[in-house]
């Protein structure tokens, strides 16, 4: 893990105007700089870079962050890679907090090995692209599938000739172990007796790229008859099928513009859909959809639509996708399921009925809540008590996989309705018998009705909960320590807002999210003990000590409501800061004035919501 203090020092050295200016043409606008947003298509500049705040913000699509965030979003880099790239500019070595010197040296060696493999794969991709241009037969095949040269170039399509050792023209040392490790060459036998030959022969080649744009593997499709129809690279140190999605690198901007990801079954579907006006499609790589696939997609969009054939195989694939999506959907992140007629895939459906008809299919896709019910009721006769009991038995593990929140409660009510059972009874049956209850995580000490409890009306929750004068960020962090699973009830905007705070708060919120994802909910006592061993930057120890001194929540306090109030107040403060930045820019064009009115309306709505929540809490 990179020490938060190093990140803060790095951001202090960086000039965000210079970094963004390499990719965006910026013009001075008051005390800020303005340009066309690189994250969505626009004709009038709405992208503001603030040198005083060292942040960027788009008033069109809402993109916001610091220099590291920009490198991650624009370049498709992971957090660690973005920090390394920025540190390299200042000649700084990124420190590693954990591991022995031997382990850190081994990690550096592994990074170098991975970089070498992607370089080898990139050279092979360039070779295949050149071979495509030289093969009229391969070009004609792609034209016959309705693909233009432009779309083929965008996805880097190529052609592997039918020879057994064509890659020897690119890699003179054909028996180099790197070629075998990368999956490009197959070695039969051992030592000097080994026979080497190309894995891909006489196939249209689809480079598989990671979110940074590096080639990490290939998919190859036969042109004529032959088996297997599709052939993938084997798994390597840089390519794991259960983590990667074909077309995600190319679809990043479209995911933001279209507002959803369309998950289809094959490479050709992805490329054909991009040709037909759906550039937001991605595909799994010969495996069922995994939780890691879904988690990766939700980094780019809040809606995922899975497209399947309507036959039995498609229904089975949908059931696996449902299981993968359940842990990651929230009140603001949704998944839907699109079933096409068995005789059609997305490509053929659009060619037969047109893009508008397919758009209607997407709009009418089955929501996750209904798909969960349909999956659970398979093989159940709801007209009998036995059938309803079986239905609930099949539904329970699916429902338990959902994170706590309003969606989970709504689905519980739907399940109860289908089972002809009062929702309170179902809740008691599933929660009251040791089921997947959301733990209270109250620190050891006062029990309900025990010493310290007071009869009669309690004072307002704001005075009950916290001692002294903690900041809003202190309160938000403390509430998440008390019940860390409440993180999943927050919106993506709230997640970003909290994680982007200066140290020690931002790193602490980000750590809680990682800890929750890795280990699930734990008690407040355990969480505080582990936080005390972490370094969240300047003030880390003092922050943990303040959290320890705050009063534990009393029975009956709605921590979810408390957190909603605190986060809404933080969001309100952020919107008011944005308004101030907008007026500081000095711009008076219609788009800026419109945005100012929108911010004013949003602030008013937030104030009304906060007032309503406070009134409900104190009743």
225-242 pLDDT, tens digit per residue, is 888 888 999 999 889 888
Lowest-confidence range among 3-7, 98-102, 260-264, 545-549?
Answer: 98-102
Lowest-confidence range among 20-29, 141-150, 365-374?
Answer: 20-29
Residue 97 is predicted with a pLDDT of: 54
What confidence tier does 480 reach under pLDDT thresholds 50, 70, 90?
A: very high
From CA 149, how far away is CA 158, in angstroms rounded?
A: 11
- Is the pLDDT confidence value at 433 over 60? no
- Residue from 398, 418, 206 nearest 321 by CA: 398
The backbone torsions φ and ψ at residue 29, rounded to the nearest 5 degrees and listed phi first, read -140, 90
Residue 476 contacts by C-beta under 8 Å, 6 or more apart in sequence?
A: 498, 509, 563, 566, 567, 570
- Is the pLDDT confidence value at 586 over 70? no
Contact 164, 198 (CB under 8 A): yes
Residue 462 is predicted with a pLDDT of: 32
Residue 590 is predicted with a pLDDT of: 72
The backbone torsions φ and ψ at residue 433, rounded to the nearest 5 degrees and listed phi first, read -105, 25
Third-level CATH fold of 472-618: DNAb Helicase; Chain A (1.10.860)
Contact 250, 279 (CB under 8 A): yes
Q: Which secondary structure element, helix H or strand E, spans residue 196, and what is its range?
A: strand 195-198
Any bridge partners for residue 57, and if so which?
A: 48, 64
Which CATH architecture is the domain 4-90 placed in?
Answer: Alpha-Beta Complex (3.90)
**HSE (side-chain half, CA atoms, 13 Å) at 555:** 12
- Is the pLDDT confidence value at 392 over 80? yes
Q: b or e along 26-51 (b: 16 or more beta carbons within 10 Å of the residue's beta carbon)?
A: beebeebbbbbbbbbebeebbbbbbe
Residue 582 is predicted with a pLDDT of: 66
- Is the pLDDT confidence value at 459 over 50? no
- Is the pLDDT confidence value at 530 over 70? yes
The backbone torsions φ and ψ at residue 231, rounded to the nearest 5 degrees and listed phi first, read -130, 125
The alpha carbon of 60 is separated from its chain's Cα centroid by a whole number of angstroms, namely 21
- Is the pLDDT confidence value at 118 over 80? yes
Lowest-confidence range among 66-75, 86-95, 147-156?
Answer: 86-95
Residue 302 is predicted with a pLDDT of: 83
- Is the pLDDT confidence value at 32 over 80? yes
Contact 68, 86 (CB under 8 A): yes
Find the mean pLDDT for residues 145-166: 95
From CA 532, how far away is CA 516, in angstroms rounded?
A: 16
Residue 583 is predicted with a pLDDT of: 66
CA-based Rg of the chain, rounded to a whole angstrom? 27
What's the mean pLDDT when you consider all of the chain? 84
In angstroms, the first-to-last Cα distance of the chain is 45
From CA 353, how far away is CA 365, in angstroms rounded?
A: 17
Would you state the torsion angle of the CA atoms of residues 280, 598, 46, 72, taken in this order, to the nearest 10 degrees? -50
What confidence tier does 212 reach under pLDDT thresholds 50, 70, 90?
A: confident
From CA 333, how far away is CA 36, in angstroms rounded?
A: 28
Assigned token pair, 95: 């420190």
Residue 65 is predicted with a pLDDT of: 86
Contact 514, 508 (CB under 8 A): no
- Is the pLDDT confidence value at 221 over 80? yes
Share of the chain above pLDDT 90, in %: 39
Q: Helices 385-400 and 423-431 sit at what angle, rounded to 10 degrees?
A: 60
Residue 463 is predicted with a pLDDT of: 31
The DSSP bridge pattern shows strands 47-50 and 55-58 to be: antiparallel
Find the mean pLDDT for residues 190-217: 90
Q: Which residue stretches of 301-405 are H helix? A: 312-325, 346-353, 355-363, 368-376, 385-400
CATH of 374-428 given 1.20.50, 1.10.3470, 1.25.40, 3.10.20: 1.20.50
Is the preceding peptide bond at 533 cis, omega within 30 degrees of 0? no
Any bridge partners for residue 187, and if so which?
A: 196
Most confident of 51-65, 123-137, 201-215, 328-342: 123-137
Share of the chain above pLDDT 70, in %: 89
- Is the pLDDT confidence value at 449 over 50? no
**Strand order of the sheet with strand 215-222?**
158-160, 203-209, 215-222, 230-232
Number of CB atoms found within 10 A of residue 69's CB: 19
10 Å CB burial of residue 552 (0-12, 13-18, 19+) is middle
- Is the pLDDT confidence value at 595 over 90? no
The domain segmentation of the chain, as residue ranges, is 4-90, 106-187+196-239, 243-364, 374-428, 472-618
Number of CB atoms found within 10 A of residue 453's CB: 12
From CA 422, how far away is CA 427, in angstroms rounded?
A: 9
From CA 309, how far away is CA 341, in angstroms rounded?
A: 6
- Is the pLDDT confidence value at 199 over 80? yes
Find the mean pLDDT for residues 34-60: 84
Assigned token pair, 586: 């000095």
Q: What angle do CA 199, 201, 207 make, to 5 degrees?
A: 75
CA distances from 507 to 71, 496, 504, 514, 598 (A): 18, 12, 6, 10, 31
Residue 107 is predicted with a pLDDT of: 66
Assigned token pair, 211: 């979110």
Location of structure tokens 């005075």: 463
- Residue from 157, 179, 156 nearest 169 by CA: 179
- Residue from 91, 37, 26 nearest 65 by CA: 37
Find the mean pLDDT for residues 25-38: 86
Contact 187, 234 (CB under 8 A): no
The DSSP bridge pattern shows strands 230-232 and 215-222 to be: antiparallel
Q: Which secondary structure element, helix H or strand E, spans residue 282, and what is its range?
A: strand 281-283
10 Å CB burial of residue 310 (0-12, 13-18, 19+) is middle
The DSSP bridge pattern shows strands 303-309 and 185-188 to be: unpaired
- Residue from 487, 481, 483, 458 nearest 554 by CA: 458
CATH of 243-364 given 1.10.287.110, 3.10.250.10, 3.30.590.10, 3.40.1360.10: 3.40.1360.10
Residue 150 contacts by C-beta under 8 Å, 6 or more apart in sequence?
A: none
Q: Yes or no: is domain 106-187+196-239 CATH 3.30.420.280?
A: no
Residue 245 is predicted with a pLDDT of: 94
From CA 185, how far away is CA 200, in angstroms rounded?
A: 8
Q: Which secondary structure element, helix H or strand E, spans residue 83, and what is its range?
A: helix 79-89
């Amino acid at each position: 893990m990179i020490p938060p203090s190093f990140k803060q020092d790095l951001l202090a050295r960086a000039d965000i105007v210079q970094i963004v200016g390499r990719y965006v043409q910026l013009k001075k606008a008051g005390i800020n700089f303005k340009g066309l947003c690189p994250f969505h298509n626009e004709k009038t500049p709405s992208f503001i870079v603030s040198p005083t705040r060292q942040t960027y913000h788009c008033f069109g699509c809402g993109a916001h962050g610091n220099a590291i965030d920009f490198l991650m979003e624009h370049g498709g880099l992971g957090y660690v890679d973005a920090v390394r790239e920025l540190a390299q500019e200042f000649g700084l070595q990124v420190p590693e907090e954990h591991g022995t010197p031997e382990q850190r040296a081994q990690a550096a060696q592994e990074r170098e090995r991975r970089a070498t493999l992607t370089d080898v794969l990139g050279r092979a991709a360039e070779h295949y692209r050149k071979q495509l241009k030289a093969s009229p037969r391969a070009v004609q095949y792609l034209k016959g599938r309705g693909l233009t040269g432009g779309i083929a170039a965008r996805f880097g399509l190529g052609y592997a000739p039918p020879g057994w050792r064509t890659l020897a023209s690119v890699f003179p040392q054909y028996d180099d172990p790197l070629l075998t490790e990368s999956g490009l060459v197959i070695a039969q036998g051992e030592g000097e007796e080994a026979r080497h030959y190309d894995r891909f022969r006489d196939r249209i080649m689809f480079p598989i790229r990671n979110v940074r744009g590096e080639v990490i593997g290939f998919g190859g499709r036969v042109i004529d008859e032959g088996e297997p129809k599709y052939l993938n690279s084997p798994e390597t140190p840089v390519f794991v099928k259960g983590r990667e999605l074909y077309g995600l690198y190319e679809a990043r901007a479209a995911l933001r513009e279209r507002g959803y990801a369309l998950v289809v079954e094959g490479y050709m579907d992805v490329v054909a859909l991009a040709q037909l006006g759906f550039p937001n499609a991605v595909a799994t790589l010969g495996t069922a959809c995994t939780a890691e696939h879904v988690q990766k997609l939700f980094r780019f969009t809040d809606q995922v639509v899975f497209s399947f054939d309507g036959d039995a195989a498609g229904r089975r694939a949908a059931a696996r996708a449902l299981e993968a999506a359940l842990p990651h959907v929230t009140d603001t992140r949704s998944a839907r399921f699109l079933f096409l007629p068995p005789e059609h895939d997305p490509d053929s459906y659009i060619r037969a009925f047109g893009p508008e008809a397919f758009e209607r299919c997407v709009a009418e896709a089955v929501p996750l809540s209904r798909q969960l019910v349909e999956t659970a009721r398979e093989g159940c006769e709801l007209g009998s008590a036995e059938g309803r009991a079986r239905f609930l038995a099949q539904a329970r593990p699916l429902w338990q996989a959902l994170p706590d929140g309003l969606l989970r409660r709504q689905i519980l009510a739907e399940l109860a309705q289908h089972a002809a059972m009062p929702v309170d009874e179902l809740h008691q049956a599933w929660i009251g018998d040791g089921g997947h209850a959301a733990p209270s995580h109250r620190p050891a000490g006062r029990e309900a009705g025990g010493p310290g409890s007071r009869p009669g009306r309690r004072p307002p929750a704001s005075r009950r909960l916290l001692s002294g004068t903690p900041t809003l960020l202190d309160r938000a962090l403390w509430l998440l320590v008390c019940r860390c699973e409440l993180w999943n009830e927050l919106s993506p905007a709230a997640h970003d807002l909290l994680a982007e705070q200066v140290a020690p708060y931002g790193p602490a919120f980000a750590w809680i999210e990682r800890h929750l994802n890795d280990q699930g909910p734990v008690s407040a006592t355990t969480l505080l003990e582990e936080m005390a061993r972490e370094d969240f930057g300047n003030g880390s120890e003092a922050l943990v000590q303040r959290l320890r001194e705050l009063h534990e929540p009393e029975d009956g306090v709605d921590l979810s409501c408390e957190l909603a109030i605190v986060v809404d107040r933080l969001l309100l403060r952020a919107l008011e800061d944005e308004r101030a930045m907008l007026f500081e820019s000095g711009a008076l064009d219609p788009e800026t004035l419109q945005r100012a009115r929108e911010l004013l309306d949003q602030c008013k709505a937030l104030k009304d919501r906060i007032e309503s929540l406070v009134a409900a809490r104190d009743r």
